[in-house]
Amino acid sequence: MSKDMMPMFELYQPTDIGNALDLADKFGADGWKVAGGQDSLDWIKDRAKRTKVVIDLTRIADAGLRGIRETTDGIEIGALTTLTEIEENELIKERFGLLASAAAKVASPQIRNVGTIGGNVCQDTRCWYYRSGIDCYRAGGTTCYADTPEAMNREHCLFGADRCVAVTPSDTGPALVALDASMVIRNADGERVVAAEDFFIGPDVDIERMTVLQPGDILTAIRIPNTWAGASFYFEKVADRNTWDFALVNIAAALRINNGRIEDIRIAAGGVECIPRRMTVVEDIVRGSAQDDETATLAGSSASRGATPLNYNHFKIPLLENLVTRAIRDA
């Protein structure tokens, strides 16, 4: 691959959401939408993917796409809000500290200063075969090169494989699922709201996409209801390096605890499935139980039910179990 210069493309920099939606509708699949650009520019620079048109969303002045606003039933975060803003925002830290903790674990401070919450949940998978431009299933080919006896697949999935075994790299995704967030999506025909849990899609739904976003769609905001405001939270990310690296496994949990008992819980894991994995089995086991070592251990042992490890990622099973155990015990 030639990396000496960027390939040619047309650049559009709309200043309002209406113009951006018009451009997205006009160019469709040929229009690559960029927010912080931390993931997109790698693809284009490496020539692993090509595009005729880049639509830069960072010039849009509409207030709805930026910042953190309190609403009658929660908060709304503009999709162009940086991860640093989310990490440092007092309202989020006070009510939804889980998201602030997740944002703080993304990459490095320099990347968080530029990278956006919208970009983080929309980024493509980090599978090295796919990102190297190899014609795997996700790239339109007929083979998964990561799912072979000799493959480098220690970063890949334990659950939900369907030809592709790559995982979503988003750290904020599991936190948003645990907080029961909703994603606001706009296109030329109007607006729709999708639950965060349904926003991410696996290869069984569409092997060439990781979210429900269609070519003409733009993610404009994320809404978090007050349902879990002020709950007990737990977020932990395990990666090869503490800075910059993507999660081998991460865990995000929100618990309602009353008199030492877990009244309610939502828990999701990243790095183990092609989407953030909602751990409903764990939720069902611990709901109504005491928050103690016995409950935590039982929850941890249940976390890996149905796991199908690849040749080099068996270590993710005890890692996931231990993270779930700590989340239930220490939230």
Residues 6+ positions from 139 with CB-CB distance below 8 Å: 130, 133, 208
The pLDDT tens digits for 130-171 are 998 899 999 999 999 999 999 999 999 999 999 999 999 999
- Written out in words, the top-level CATH class of the domain with range 7-331 is alpha beta
Predicted pLDDT of residue 4: 59
Q: Distance (Å, rounded) from C-alpha 276 to C-alpha 168? A: 7
For Cα atoms 63, 109, 62, give the angle at the middle one, nearest 5 degrees: 10
Q: Return left, alpha or beta for 288; rule: phi > 0 is left, psi -120 to 50 is alpha, else beta.
A: left
Please indicate, yes or no, whether the overall pTM of this predicted structure exceeds 0.75: yes
In the chain, where the domains are located: 7-331
Outline where DSSP puts E strands in 36-106: 53-56, 68-71, 74-78
- 5 pLDDT higher than 90: no
The pLDDT tens digits for 287-299 are 999 999 999 999 9
For 227, the token pair is 């349902």
